[in-house]
Amino acid sequence: MSLLSVRNLCKNYGALEVTRNVSLDVAPGELHAIIGPNGAGKTTLIGQLSGQNAPDSGSVSLEGRDITRRSMAERVRLGLARSFQITSILPRFSVLENVAIAVQARSGSSYRFFAPVAQEAALNDAAMAALADAGLEDRAGLRASALSHGEHRRLELAIALATQPKVLLLDEPLAGTGGEEAEAFVQRLRALKGRYATVLIEHDMEAVFALADRISVLVYGEIIASGSPEVIRNDPKVRAAYLGDEEAA
């Protein structure tokens, strides 16, 4: 069964065909990576999934429901969480408070039946669970501004997880991190695998080939290949267009 289903998406910016007849499926629990050169249209595609930008034609469905015309906020409520580039972390608030705000935003009025003290405890528990999933439980009491760059990125992940998504959309979560920070993020994603369906855009091929169940290759707005890491690694079209002679992973 397909949880997220994309059919024949097309988008032009003037003469530029940035999305060309893109179709893809994401199964429950699947990590589906999208790779491709700079300017291929990866971020634009994620924007069309999250509702940030509208396709000219084609459709996006979540659990069989057509969400092509739904707003970003509606998509978050239905279970699509996009991390990075829309998240604004409040630097003077604590790490825990930043996540608690996201929990409350998602749950809407569902906490109002609790007494205030119980409400705070429930919010706290949900926020701590998301922080633990992002490997930040020991940073809960710090101000967000005190986090390292890599921890900042994991806080953005925790905020996305706090919305209890069905599908996580991650656009280059490793960008600007390196070494141990990147490794820590990859470890979190590996631990979360299976619990969430994930669409991952990432340039770090080692991470992509280690994590992905399926990889789609986007070149000039078009998916030129889609398959298991093994299939993609050995696809001559992909090697010619993108991977080149750089041995992937």
Ligand X SMILES: Nc1ncnc2c1ncn2[C@@H]1O[C@H](COP(=O)(O)OP(=O)(O)O)[C@@H](O)[C@H]1O
Angle (CA) 225 228 230, round 5°:
100
Dihedrals φ, ψ of 91, to 5°?
A: -65, -30
Asked if 43 is part of the footprint of Mg ion (rule: CB under 5 A), the reply reads yes
Beta carbons within 8 Å of 35's beta carbon, 6+ residues apart: 42, 201, 202, 203, 205, 208, 215, 216, 217, 218, 242
| Cα dihedral: 161, 165, 171, 174 (round 10) | 30
Q: Between residues 13 and 114, which has the closer beta carbon with respect to ligand X?
A: 13
Minimum gap (Å) between residue 185 Cβ and Mg ion = 17
Asked if 44 is part of the footprint of ligand X (rule: CB under 6 A), the reply reads yes
Report whether 204 contacts 176 (CB < 8 A).
Answer: no
Part in contact with ligand X (CB under 6 A); list of ranges 11-19, 55-63, 119-127, 188-196: 11-19
Q: Between residues 139 and 153, which has the closer beta carbon with respect to ligand X?
A: 153
Part in contact with ligand X (CB under 6 A); list of ranges 37-45, 107-115, 145-153, 222-230: 37-45
Asked if 130 is part of the footprint of ligand X (rule: CB under 6 A), the reply reads no
Q: Between residues 36 and 229, which has the closer beta carbon with respect to ligand X?
A: 36
Any idea which residue has 């267009």 for tokens? 241
Asked if 48 is part of the footprint of ligand X (rule: CB under 6 A), the reply reads no
Instruction: List the structure tokens of 18.
Output: 């940035």
The single residue among 8, 39, 190, 195 that binds ligand X, judged by CB under 6 A, is 39
Number of residues that bind Mg ion (CB under 5 A): 2
Report whether 167 contacts 4 (CB < 8 A).
Answer: yes
Interaction mask 140-169, ligand X, x per CB under 6 A: ------------------------------
Q: Which residues bind Mg ion (CB under 5 A)?
A: 42-43
